[in-house]
Amino acid sequence: MNVYLDNNATTIVDPDVFTAMEPYFVQKYGNPNSLHSFASETHPGIKTAMEKIYEGIGAHRDDSVVITSCATESNNWVLKSIYFEYILTGKKNHIMISEVEHPSVISTAKWIESMGCKVTYLPINNEGIVDVQAVKDHITDKTALVSIMWANNETGAIFPVEEIGDICEEHDVLFHTDAVQAIGKFPVDVQTFNVDYLTFSAHKFHGPKGIGALYIKKGKELMPLLHGGAQMGGYRSGTLNVAGIVGMGMAMEAAVSALKFEMTEIRELRDNLEDELLKIKDTFVVTPREKRTPNTILISFRGIEGESMLWDLNRAGIAASTGSACASEDLEANSVMEAIGAAEDLAHTAIRFSLSRYTTKEELDYTLETVKKAVERLRGISSSYAYAPEGHESGLDAHHN
């Protein structure tokens, strides 16, 4: 059985989305900005899709939801344009992000920092959530931007963006949120709180890859990152990805209408799996589940290095993920586990299971059985659970030998 539980990385494309996109490759392939009927026949599809996208996040008609190539582009765009507009010109000197943002925010912030901007990396608390107080403590009249993700990709922890938005408004500071993990997981409505920029990406909610967006509140214009033929109202040049836009529109509509299912049925599946996994000895979950997206579990299996767990799962056809040392190209421990201040020996043991509306109970039953077998095998190999003679001076983290 093949089971896909890595939906925070990417998702299966909804077959209806795929069908909706198909005509825009071979039949309606015109460049929307040309002056002929090949162009105009793409317009109704684009318009309908854009309306669905606006509606999906509650954007006002006068706001701009600019289509980009991905969330990474959207995040880069916000940080770099703020840098050019406010930091380079000397109007402001500071931005704030959390220490567990996506690399597209952290790496961009580090680049800006290297160009002379002050950057505050806000810590997370022991539940994996950014403290509102930390935002209050560090915001100054020289702060140009606060960029805090809405939901964390690794833990699923939902951050208090409403309160952070309020603080930013009080201090007249621009506020950006990376909502990549939010769309389709819980209601997203930009009218209900103060937010100036909001990033999202279609492939995280059963749309195609290569298409993302940036919501820009009316009056909070950004200078473009990509100059050229002035598509997207001059905000973002580049020939429109028509099929992608159509796909994202359809995916957004489907994600919004599946919200209730996601927040009840999928949550229940997730909770059941989590309950069962936690029955395995020496397992740990960080963020309380009511403070998490309904589809995500980040769980540590003491004594089992993350990549070896992925190995055993993968052999059984199950896809999960880990941010820990060996699986990624660098040797860092799971950044969120580190930031939370989890016991050091657990930093390399975290495994993330992320469900979607396509996940079934049968798949999770199979996953649970497979995990149990893997835990037994790998703890059998593990030095953490190994025999040591009496009086042995251990060089390992030896609190449970």
Residues forming the active site: 326
Among positions 326-345, residues that touch another protein (CB under 8 A) are 326-327, 329-333, 344-345
Distance CA 246, CA 241 (A): 9
Of the pair 168, 375, the CB lying nearest another protein is at 375
Asked if 349 interacts with another protein (CB under 8 A), we say: yes
Of the pair 39, 326, the CB lying nearest another protein is at 326
Distance CA 91, CA 12 (A): 44
Total count of residues recorded for the chain = 401
3-state secondary structure of 217: coil
Q: For residue 321, give the DSSP letter.
A: B
Asked if 103 interacts with another protein (CB under 8 A), we say: no
By CB under 8 A, the count of residues binding another protein is 40
Least Å from the CB of residue 247 to another protein: 24
Of the pair 40, 314, the CB lying nearest another protein is at 314
Asked if 397 interacts with another protein (CB under 8 A), we say: yes
Distance CA 305, CA 231 (A): 48
Of the pair 219, 387, the CB lying nearest another protein is at 387
Select the residue interacting with another protein from 325, 366, 368, 372 (CB under 8 A): 325
Least Å from the CB of residue 380 to another protein: 8
Spacing of C-alpha 9 from chain mean position: 8
Least Å from the CB of residue 132 to another protein: 27
Element of type H or E holding 110: helix 103-114
Among positions 155-184, residues that touch another protein (CB under 8 A) are none
Angle subtended at Cα 23 by Cα 19 and Cα 24, rounded to the nearest 5 degrees: 115
Distance CA 32, CA 76 (A): 26
Select the residue interacting with another protein from 47, 60, 260, 315 (CB under 8 A): 315
Asked if 393 interacts with another protein (CB under 8 A), we say: yes
Stretch that binds another protein, among 13-21, 74-82, 257-265, 320-328 (CB under 8 A): 320-328
Least Å from the CB of residue 316 to another protein: 12
Of 181, 223, 206, 218, the closest CA to residue 76 belongs to 223
Least Å from the CB of residue 343 to another protein: 8
| Residue carrying the six token digits 């309950």 | 275
Select the residue interacting with another protein from 151, 304, 320, 364 (CB under 8 A): 304
Of the pair 274, 305, the CB lying nearest another protein is at 305
Select the residue interacting with another protein from 348, 353, 354, 355 (CB under 8 A): 348
* Contact mark string toward another protein, 361..390, x via CB under 8 A: -------------------xxxxxxxxxxx
Lookup: tokens for 216: 């820009």
Select the residue interacting with another protein from 63, 101, 274, 305 (CB under 8 A): 305
Of 336, 262, 261, the closest CA to residue 299 belongs to 336
Give residues with Cβ within 8 angstroms of 170, minimum separation 6.
none
Asked if 2 interacts with another protein (CB under 8 A), we say: no
- Is 76:65 a contact under the CB 8 Å cutoff? no
Of the pair 16, 307, the CB lying nearest another protein is at 307
Of the pair 290, 330, the CB lying nearest another protein is at 330
Q: Which long-range contacts (CB under 8 A, 24 or more apart) does 98-101 make?
A: 98/122, 98/123, 98/124, 98/130, 98/148, 98/149, 98/159, 99/123, 99/124, 99/335, 99/339, 100/124, 100/128, 100/130, 100/149, 100/152, 100/154, 100/335, 100/336, 100/339, 101/147, 101/148, 101/149, 101/178
Asked if 107 interacts with another protein (CB under 8 A), we say: no
Angle subtended at Cα 182 by Cα 169 and Cα 63, rounded to the nearest 5 degrees: 50
Least Å from the CB of residue 113 to another protein: 14
Angle between helices 361-381 and 267-279 (to 10 degrees): 30
Asked if 321 interacts with another protein (CB under 8 A), we say: no
Asked if 347 interacts with another protein (CB under 8 A), we say: yes
Of the pair 219, 380, the CB lying nearest another protein is at 380
Least Å from the CB of residue 136 to another protein: 26
Give residues with Cβ within 8 angstroms of 49, minimum separation 6.
245, 246, 247, 248, 249, 250
Instruction: Name the residues that contact another protein, by CB under 8 A.
Output: 303-308, 311, 315, 324-327, 329-333, 344-349, 380-390, 392-397
